[in-house]
Structure 1
Amino acid sequence: MMIRINKHLHFPVSETLFVFALDAEAGKEFDHAHKLITGIGKVNAAMALTQQIYHKRPSLIVNLGSAGSKGFIKGEVVCCTKFIQRDMDVRGLGFALYETPLSGIPPVLEYGLPVDHLPQGICGSGDSFEMNHAETAYSIVDMEAYPLALIAQKADIPFVCLKYISDDAGSDAAADWEVQVHLASVAFKKVLFD
Structure 2
Amino acid sequence: MSEHALVMALPSESKGLFEAEGIEVHYSGIGKVNAAFKAFEVIQTTGCKTLINLGTAGSSHFDAHELVEVSHFVQRDMDVSPLGFEVGITPMDQHFPGAIKLAPFFTDLPQGICGTGDSFATGQPKVACQLVDMEGYALAKVCKKLDVRLISVKYITDGANDTATLDWEDNLLLGAQKLLSLYQKIK
TM-score (norm 1): 0.88
- Structure with the higher strand share, 1 or 2: 1
Q: 2:99 aligns with which of 100, 108, 112?
A: 108
CA distance in 1, matches of 2:112, 2:70: 5
Q: 1:64 aligns with which of 54, 72, 92?
A: 54
Alpha-carbon contact 1:96-1:107 (below 8 Å) kept: no
Tell me the matched-pair count: 181
Q: CA deviation at 1:164?
A: 0.3
Q: CA deviation at 1:179?
A: 0.5
My pick for the range that moved more, 181-190 or 73-82, is: 181-190
Q: What's the counterpart of residue 67 of structure 2?
A: 77
Q: What's the counterpart of residue 17 of structure 1?
A: 5
List runs of 5+ in structure 1 lacking aligned partners.
1-13
Amino acid in the other structure paired with 1:85 = Q
| Cα separation, partners in 2 of 1:146 and 1:112, compared to 1, 3 Å | farther
Q: 2:78 aligns with which of 63, 70, 88?
A: 88
CA distance in 2, matches of 1:113, 1:151: 18
Q: 1:165-190 CA distances to partner (integer Å, 9 max, x unpaired)?
A: 00000010000001012222210122
| 2:143 aligned with 1:152 | yes
Alpha-carbon contact 2:122-2:162 (below 8 Å) kept: yes
List runs of 5+ in structure 2 lacking aligned partners.
none
| 2:167 aligned with 1:176 | yes
Runs ≥4 residues deviating over 4 A? none
My pick for the range that moved more, 126-135 or 162-171, is: 126-135
Q: What's the counterpart of residue 139 of structure 1?
A: 130
What is the percent sequence identity of the aligned residues?
38
CA distance in 2, matches of 1:137, 1:187: 27
Q: CA deviation at 1:191?
A: 2.0
Q: 2:40 aligns with which of 41, 45, 50?
A: 50
CA distance in 2, matches of 1:134, 1:57: 35
Amino acid in the other structure paired with 1:186 = Q
CA distance in 1, matches of 2:118, 2:127: 18
My pick for the range that moved more, 70-79 or 150-159, is: 150-159
